[in-house]
Amino acid sequence: MCCDLKRRFLLLYATQKGQAKAIAEEIREQAGARGLEADMHCISEMDKYNLETEKDPVVIVISTTGTGDPPDTARKFVKKIQDTTLPPDHFAHLQYGLLGLGDSEYTFFCNGGKTVDRRLQELGAQHFYDTGLADDCVGLELVVDPWIDGLWLALKEAFLLQKEKEGMSNVVDAVSSALSAAPHGVPELNLSSEVQNLKLEDEGVRSSDVLSQKLVDISLVASARDTEPSLVHSVPPVSQSTLNIPALPPEYIEVRFQDTHGENPHLSSLISEGKTFEVPVTKAVQLTREDAIKTALLLELDIADTVFDYQPGDAFCVICPNNINEVEELLQILGLSEKAEYFICVKVKQGTKKKGAAHPQHIPERSTLKFILTWCLEIRAIPKKAFLRALVECTSDAGEKRRLQELCSRQGASDYTRFIRDCNVCLLDLLHAFPSCKPSLNLLIEHLPKLQARSYSVSSSNLYQPGKLCFVFNIVEFPACPARPVSRKGVCTGWLAELVAPLLQPNKNTLNTGGSSSTEKV
């Protein structure tokens, strides 16, 4: 019965910084492994899909931006469905499931997804799967992973009900005829409970997104410290479990080293939207005492030579680099220190099995390796489970390989949260913890996200201080922990603090009147 069911569903994503798109791509990959066709589109591409006539199930992944707005890519869609002239049964034919992404540190948590979900309900659309709301504050994967796991059974039920409506399922025809012939008082068959008994695997196709990984026979020396789990060590039941690990993501990037001649692109080319300005830092003030728990700085920028106009409280973004010491350390571990200043060419690998593979927009067509690791890739990003799965294949030590498998498995979910997510572990930490792991450069480009510009709020008035812009921030501190033995400062706040340190030297608690001589720019 399952093999005859219709297998297409529409997959829409609305993303601001790429998170929702990445999750949608993961759903598409898993769908393909299960013999399903995910017809994936950005929600802004309204010429490529039509919800008014859509008969198949619809899956929507949508993020939230600002203080609770739908992402920019969803604005036209939201405006269209909020048309007050639409009748309450406009989407009565529509079956959908929605996954919203948000951050509970903001007042209007997941409001982008909630807005779309609420309006679709008002227009008569029906859930075939419960709405999921993932919280980036505690870890999106805590909701995203189980939501995706449950999606497939919900889709199978939706497909079966779709067949029932179309009168095309022999099973449903038999059930219908049995019901019509049955005497009054015979209870109706519960179609939903019947679907619950369906196997998740397609006939002849094992769900390749989850591999049954047998225990690796490793002899571990027992000691007192081994009774507690850590980043590199597991204890029962995880250490004795048969693991369900994600499918290996297909490689799709090819990297070629060229020469050392040329210039790197200007930083403004890394920003796809909005205008960019390079401006001098004219003043810096440390607002807190030396013994304060947090260090707060106030910076003043000279924007007189720009057309940068603002209101107090407006947000602006600072383009920042990764910490240069961390970049050089990463190059050394990868064995690429001597090639740091070589220009590289990044292309999509021919014959890749990754659907929709494209050149990453945040990687310049021509730049040096050091430039890419410094300005383009978020090397501090918390590795996702798909990245850990790929790192397994780059690890030679059996014990380290097993532990990485555990951390990306369903059985090791709590260990992943405790030792990676909560500890802000990054790629560099993993390479230190698992020294036999030697990933290729193309793997880093495939899995490390774009280095995002950091957002700050204006704390000055153009009326009171024309040509100046001030902002205040705390220097973010990540103290050392067992999973990460070194302390670190925030990527941008740490860089800004180091940048303006000379301005703070004469008197750290007063404005530096000699600031106009500063040559430091942001």
pLDDT of residue 482: 84
Q: Does residue 68 form part of some domain?
A: yes
DSSP 231-249: SS---TTGGGSPEEEEPPP
Which structural domain, as residue segments, surrounds residue 351? 253-269+337-438
Question: 8-14 and 488-489: which strand pairing?
Answer: unpaired
Instruction: Verify that 29 and 153 share a domain, yes or no.
Output: yes
Residue 149 has pLDDT above 70, yes or no: yes
Confidence of residue 286 (pLDDT cuts 50, 70, 90): very high
Instruction: Verify that 15 and 154 share a domain, yes or no.
Output: yes
Q: Which two tokens stand for residue 288?
A: 């807190």
Residue 262 has pLDDT above 70, yes or no: yes
* Structural domain ending residue among the three candidates 401, 421, 438: 438
Mean pLDDT of the 411-428 span? 91
Residue 4 has pLDDT above 70, yes or no: no
Task: Report the share of the chain in percent with pLDDT over 90.
Answer: 61
pLDDT of residue 168: 52
Confidence of residue 507 (pLDDT cuts 50, 70, 90): very low
The beta strands (E) that lie in 287-440 are given as 296-302, 315-318, 343-348, 367-368
Mean pLDDT of the 68-94 span? 93
In the chain, how many domains are there?
A: 2
Mean pLDDT of the 313-326 span? 94
Mean pLDDT of the 241-251 span? 90
Q: Where is average pLDDT lowest: 128-137, 141-150, 332-341, 504-513?
A: 504-513
Instruction: Verify that 13 and 136 share a domain, yes or no.
Output: yes
Mean pLDDT of the 79-97 span? 94
DSSP 140-203: THHHHHHHHHHHHHHHHHHHHHHHHHHT--HHHHHHHHHHHHSPTTPPPP-HHHHHHTS-SSBT
**What does pTM read for this prediction?**
0.72
Residue 186 has pLDDT above 50, yes or no: no
Q: Which two tokens stand for residue 45?
A: 């591409």
Instruction: Verify that 108 and 257 share a domain, yes or no.
Output: no
Task: Determine whether 414 is exposed, middle or buried from the number of CB atoms within 10 Å of its CB (0-12, 13-18, 19+).
Answer: exposed
In this predicted model, which residue has the larger pLDDT, 431 or 272?
431
pLDDT of residue 3: 44
Instruction: Verify that 263 and 125 share a domain, yes or no.
Output: no
Mean pLDDT of the 290-307 span? 93
Instruction: Verify that 258 and 155 share a domain, yes or no.
Output: no
Instruction: Verify that 160 and 264 share a domain, yes or no.
Output: no
Confidence of residue 484 (pLDDT cuts 50, 70, 90): confident
Confidence of residue 271 (pLDDT cuts 50, 70, 90): confident
Residue 207 has pLDDT above 50, yes or no: no
Q: Does residue 226 form part of some domain?
A: no
Domain with 385 in it: what CATH number? Answer: 1.20.990.10
Q: Where is average pLDDT lowest: 128-142, 193-207, 355-369, 375-389?
A: 193-207
pLDDT of residue 177: 52
Residue 318 has pLDDT above 80, yes or no: yes
Q: Does residue 1 form part of some domain?
A: no
Instruction: Verify that 111 and 260 share a domain, yes or no.
Output: no
Q: Does residue 54 form part of some domain?
A: yes
Q: Does residue 122 form part of some domain?
A: yes
Domain with 46 in it: what CATH number? Answer: 3.40.50.360
Mean pLDDT of the 16-42 span? 90
Q: Does residue 169 form part of some domain?
A: no
Confidence of residue 517 (pLDDT cuts 50, 70, 90): low
Mean pLDDT of the 347-356 span? 89
- Most confident range, picked from 178-182, 369-373, 383-387: 369-373
Confidence of residue 206 (pLDDT cuts 50, 70, 90): very low
| C-alpha triplet 449, 453, 454: angle, nearest 5° | 115
Task: Report the share of the chain in percent with pLDDT over 70.
Answer: 85
* Dist CA 352 CA 317 (whole Å): 36
Task: Determine whether 183 is exposed, middle or buried from the number of CB atoms within 10 Å of its CB (0-12, 13-18, 19+).
Answer: exposed
Mean pLDDT of the 439-464 span? 93
pLDDT of residue 189: 33
Instruction: Verify that 262 and 142 share a domain, yes or no.
Output: no
Q: Does residue 196 form part of some domain?
A: no
* Structural domain ending residue among the three candidates 438, 462, 496: 438
Instruction: Verify that 145 and 27 share a domain, yes or no.
Output: yes
Average pLDDT, the chain: 84
Find how far residue 170's CA is from the centre of its chain. 42
* Structural domain ending residue among the three candidates 408, 438, 468: 438
Residue 409 has pLDDT above 60, yes or no: yes
Q: Which residues pair with 470 in a beta bridge?
A: 300
In this predicted model, which residue has the larger pLDDT, 367 or 188?
367
pLDDT of residue 518: 63
Mean pLDDT of the 313-334 span? 95
pLDDT of residue 378: 96
Instruction: Verify that 133 and 261 share a domain, yes or no.
Output: no
Instruction: Verify that 264 and 139 share a domain, yes or no.
Output: no
State which amino acid sits at residue 488: R
